[in-house]
Amino acid sequence: MSIPRTWAVTLRIVRQFRRDPRTLILLFAVPAVVILLVGYLLRSSSGGIRLGFVDETGGTAAPALQALGQTLSEAGVTPRYLSRPQAEKEVKDGDLDGAIVIAPAAQGTGVSVLLEGSNAQRSKAILRIARQVPLALSAASMPPPAESDLSVTYYHGGPDFETIDSQAPPLVGFYAFFFVFLLTTVSFLRERTVGTLERLMVTPITRAELVLGYVAGFGIFAVLQAIVILLVTIVVLQVEYTGSLAVVLLLVVTVTVAAANLGIFLSTFARTELQAVQFIPIVIVPQGLLSSVIWPIDTLPRWLQGVAHLLPLTYSNEALRNVMIRGQGLLDAGVAVNFLVLVGFAAIFVVIASATLRRQVA
Amino acid sequence: MANVEPAVVIEGLGKRFGRIEALRDVSFAVEPGQTYGLLGPGGCGKTTLIRLLLGALRPSAGRALVLGRPVPSPVTAGTVGYMPQLPALYLELTARENVSFFASLYGVHSRQAVEETLALVELAGRADSTVSTFSGGMKQRASLACALVHRPRLLLLDEPTVGVDPRLRATFWAYFHRLNGEGVTIILSSHVMDEADRCHRLILLRDGRLLAEGAPAELRSRAGTSTLEEAFLAFAGDGT
């Protein structure tokens, strides 16, 4: 393995990109614009939370609730007081985003939350308010709830309901896969048709060096792209993530290895660039639809769930969500298992890509 | 000459592509420090022969030895230079970037080697222009530079002078002969008969078969003709 030869290929790809501003824009601006659009579309409905208070304590909690209501009004949320059946009906119908129910319990006071649930931003905001209730109760010298956990009822969606928080992590992997796959397929096709691949293959460069040079060249751009996507979601959309950036980038690099080698492999089956683009609906679109970028896999029909588990992005999405939302590390099962499956996919694609490069020598 | 090890030895070399026999039972030896011309009409097997010598194709029959080793060999890969028929270059890159890319693949990291080679093909003034802005002849020159930059012992050139103007063509030939003087062996293909006289020896090919091999003057006298074109027809044995 010669590092200078590998680096020569990497440097060449970087230079080719630098001369191609249109592709650079595609690479960085398109994911940023899409994630902003998704973010604003989901955010636009998050203002003006409609909250209900249900007081079943016979009035003893009223001072505490009023004090809390006062603070909330200043923040733009004015709770309405309802009876429990009415609150349940309104939350279910979507007339309220949620209701906080205060009721006498065996020990202390019970606090439960009813959530409409389809908008994770609002659900989270209401949960935050509900967590302030015990404090408000003790301030009004009411017995606080015995249990620290709130009893939460979702009428729609659920705690994992998809919005921008859970949409950004898979988009990081999706765009890395999409662009690296597309660009490798076209670049390699060009190498074949122009004849530079034959020229390369008669130099002392080995297949491994060539593939590694390609992976590194596109990997640099994939990592930069991932950083742009993360910056946009964290800085502009102000989504909070917990996990380690290093693990996110490691996952992006693994996705790049898989996508680049799948691209090299499939470029053998395309004669023109138009035919190369035809791989997008075959390789990219099903992964976009089935790998939980938009819909969670467990909501898919059973047979489609089976298909989803054959797609590399399913595993990268799951791992990226576990890192970015749940703050898991590389060694946690939710990341490690998915990462290993992803490495397996990458290994298979490396093998089939080198096999097609070997077949160049007829 | 007999005591010098040949640069290339070809023994009974044949290549089939499915039902098409591109090359059949071709044998000859190439002396080092000479320029050999592969001559024949399009489709006669010139490019196939060059690609077999490169190891880019595997022979269906026979064998080829390049610089004493059977091809493909990782050892000879670094000492052979190849210029394909179509200028295989990275169009988005400049001439200098193309040449230094191929130089790096051959383990040549000297800037001077790149600059000298660019000057040789008279591209020093356009070294920083992207190849996509080049004319056909300029691309051809850049392509030749990529094949030369690592100072190979054997040069395989597929139609090197297509699209090159007569003045520069003369420069090319002068350089080829200078390389010969340094011991470099050149095998080039051409379908232009008037270029053939500049080669030391010629290999006449037709329909994948070797018609004749020898110095241009020798071939003319053997055929009893005054031009190589006539000699070729005489060896081909019919009016085509």
Task: Give me the residue from A195, A198, A204 closest to B105, CB to CB.
Answer: A204
Among the listed residues B93, B88, B148, the one whose alpha carbon sits nearest the alpha carbon of residue B118: B148
**For A77-93, what is the mean pLDDT?**
86
Kindly list the residues of chain A whose beta carbon comes within 8 Å of any beta carbon in chain B.
2, 4-5, 7-8, 11-12, 15-16, 19-20, 194-196, 198-205, 360-362
Report the percent of chain A where pLDDT is more than 90. Answer: 22
Does the beta-carbon distance from A203 to B101 stay under 8 Å? no
Q: Return the CA Rg of chain A.
A: 26
Q: Does residue A289 sit in the same domain as residue A344?
A: yes
Q: Which of A154, A189, A212 is the last residue of a domain?
A: A154
What's the CA gap between B125 and B172, in Å, rounded?
18
Spacing of C-alpha A36 from chain mean position: 14
What's the number of CA atoms in the CB half-sphere (13 Å) around residue A76?
5
Q: Does residue A98 sit in the same domain as residue A121?
A: yes
CATH number for position A71: 3.40.190
Mean pLDDT comparison of A7-21, A53-67, A284-298, highest-scoring range: A7-21
Phi, psi angles (nearest 5°) of residue A107: -120, 125
- Chain B, window 65-94: residues with a beta carbon less than 8 angstroms from a chain A beta carbon: 72, 74, 77-78, 80, 82, 84, 86, 88-93
CB B37 within 8 A of CB B195: yes
Q: Does residue A190 sit in the same domain as residue A140?
A: no
Q: Does residue A254 sit in the same domain as residue A223?
A: yes
Q: Which of A98, A130, A154 is the last residue of a domain?
A: A154
* Strand duo B154-158 + B80-83: pairing: parallel
Q: What is the pLDDT of residue A43?
A: 61
E strands along chain A, which residues?
51-55, 80-82, 98-104, 109-115, 151-154
* Strand duo B209-214 + A80-82: pairing: unpaired
Regarding an ipTM greater than 0.90, the answer is no
Q: Which of A154, A175, A200 is the last residue of a domain?
A: A154
Report the percent of chain A where pLDDT is more than 70. Answer: 91
Distance of residue B185 Cα from the nearest chain A Cα, in angstroms: 17
A198 vs B contacts (CB less than 8 Å): 51, 56, 84, 88
Task: Say which residues have a Cβ less than 8 Å from residue B113's Cβ, sequence separation at least 6.
Answer: B103, B149, B150, B151
Does the beta-carbon distance from A19 to B80 stay under 8 Å? no
What's the CA gap between B15 and A355, in Å, rounded?
22
**For A35-63, what is the mean pLDDT?**
77
Q: Does residue A267 sit in the same domain as residue A342?
A: yes
> Can you name the residues that pair with B11 across neighbouring β-strands?
B63
At B14, the amino acid letter reads G
CB A145 within 8 A of CB A100: no
Angle at B158 between CA B157 and CA B160, to 5 degrees: 70
**For A289-302, what is the mean pLDDT?**
80
A238 to A39, A121, A231, A277, A313: CA distances (angstroms): 10, 12, 9, 35, 25
Q: Does residue A177 sit in the same domain as residue A97?
A: no
Angle between helices B95-105 and B136-148 (to 10 degrees): 30
The tens digit of pLDDT for each residue in A166-215 reads 677 888 899 889 999 999 999 999 998 998 998 998 898 888 899 899 99
CB B59 within 8 A of CB B17: no
Residue in chain B closest to A10 (alpha carbons) equals B101
> Can you name the residues that pair with A80 across neighbouring β-strands?
A52
Q: For residue A148, give its domain range.
A: 51-154
**For A114-120, what is the mean pLDDT?**
77
Q: Does residue A314 sit in the same domain as residue A191?
A: yes
The tens digit of pLDDT for each residue in B132-150 reads 999 888 998 999 999 999 9
Sheet of B20-30: strands edge to edge?
B20-30, B8-17, B61-66, B69-70
What's the CA gap between A215 and A347, in Å, rounded?
13
Q: Does residue A246 sit in the same domain as residue A103?
A: no
Q: Pick the residue with more confidence: A46 or A356?
A: A356
Q: How confident is the model at residue A94 (pLDDT cuts 50, 70, 90)?
A: confident
A129 to A47, A77, A79, A105, B22: CA distances (angstroms): 15, 10, 11, 20, 81
> Can you name the residues that pair with B36 across neighbouring β-strands?
B187, B201
CB A312 within 8 A of CB A318: no
Q: How confident is the model at residue A157 (pLDDT cuts 50, 70, 90)?
A: low
Q: Between A and B, how many residue pairs show a Cβ–Cβ distance under 8 A?
A: 75
Does the beta-carbon distance from B86 to A205 stay under 8 Å? no
Distance of residue A344 Cα from the nearest chain B Cα, in angstroms: 30
Q: Does residue A212 sit in the same domain as residue A136?
A: no
The tens digit of pLDDT for each residue in B177-209 reads 999 999 999 999 987 777 888 999 999 998 889
Q: Does residue A116 sit in the same domain as residue A184?
A: no
A196 vs B contacts (CB less than 8 Å): 88-90
Q: Does residue A227 sit in the same domain as residue A304?
A: yes
Angle at B191 between CA B14 and CA B79, to 5 degrees: 60
Structure tokens at A213: 């040079």
The count of domains in chain A is 2
What's the CA gap between B12 and B26, in Å, rounded?
5
Q: Does residue A149 sit in the same domain as residue A125?
A: yes
Q: What is the pLDDT of residue B2?
A: 47
Q: What is the pLDDT of residue B239?
A: 46
A359 vs B contacts (CB less than 8 Å): none
State the 10-residue block means of pLDDT for chain B, 240 residues long: 75 91 92 93 88 89 90 82 91 95 93 93 93 91 93 92 82 90 92 84 91 91 87 75
Does the beta-carbon distance from B57 to A201 stay under 8 Å? no
Q: What is the pLDDT of residue B1?
A: 45
Phi, psi angles (nearest 5°) of residue A154: -100, 130
What's the CA gap between B103 and B124, in Å, rounded?
16
